[in-house]
Amino acid sequence: MTPKFSLCVYCGSRPGATPKFADAAIAVGRWIGQNGGQLVYGGGNNGTMGILADATLAAGGRVVGVIPRSMVEREWAKQDCDELHVVDNMHQRKSLMAERADAFLALPGGLGTFEEFFEAWTWRVLDFHRKPVALLDLDGYYAPLLAFLRQSVGHGFMNDWQMDMLTVGNDVGTLLPQIVEAALRSPGGMDTSEI
């Protein structure tokens, strides 16, 4: 069956310091599956990445993993994905994930999560795609980052309209329907020749 939507989720290859991070990953995966969606993610079986993928599969959703060959062993590639794409490098990983997604969501995570999220947001600002980009600000995890970004606007290195392209929420049941609905209304299309 064709999924109703495809959500790219960036999250950690570690579980985080408290169970709330795993709980959030479970809630996101469950929501995707219960609403007939497809998860596109980094293909790992560790940390919140693996938890998210397991929850999506358990709830009946499809899972598409994309992982660089050099990271298959390091992140213990999740072999029971509906599709597991092993690519040559990070550029191919991010491009394929973006092509397969209708929207982008970052959960709490580390450097990889930040880097991939910022790239998706930058591509949106540059009009390489018109897909929603969102942050799940669980218990204020991203509050210092958002304050810094607003400071960047104040210093003239960013604009309010760039901030307006970012959707921020702290409740899975509210944020996910919001970005999926926006994605389904949007022309979306990604011109990968511009990347």
pLDDT in tens, 21-43: 999 999 999 999 999 999 999 99
- How high is the pLDDT of residue 76? 84
pTM of the model: 0.93
The Cα–Cα gap between 119 and 145 comes to 15
The Cα–Cα gap between 51 and 12 comes to 10
Q: How many CB atoms lie within 10 A of CB 192?
A: 13
- How high is the pLDDT of residue 74? 75
| Radius of gyration of the chain, Cα coordinates, nearest whole angstrom | 16
Domains, the chain: 6-118+125-139+158-183 (3.40.50.450)
Tell me which residues of the chain have a pLDDT lower than 70. 75, 187-195
Grouping H, G, I as helix, E, B as strand and the rest as coil, residue 67 is strand
- How high is the pLDDT of residue 189? 53
| Cα angle 22, 165, 153; round to 5 | 100
- How high is the pLDDT of residue 170? 97
Residue 35: both structure tokens together = 């609403």
- How high is the pLDDT of residue 187? 66
pLDDT in tens, 45-56: 999 999 999 999
- How high is the pLDDT of residue 193? 46
Positive or negative: CA dihedral 159, 161, 165, 168? positive
Cross-strand partners of 84: 65
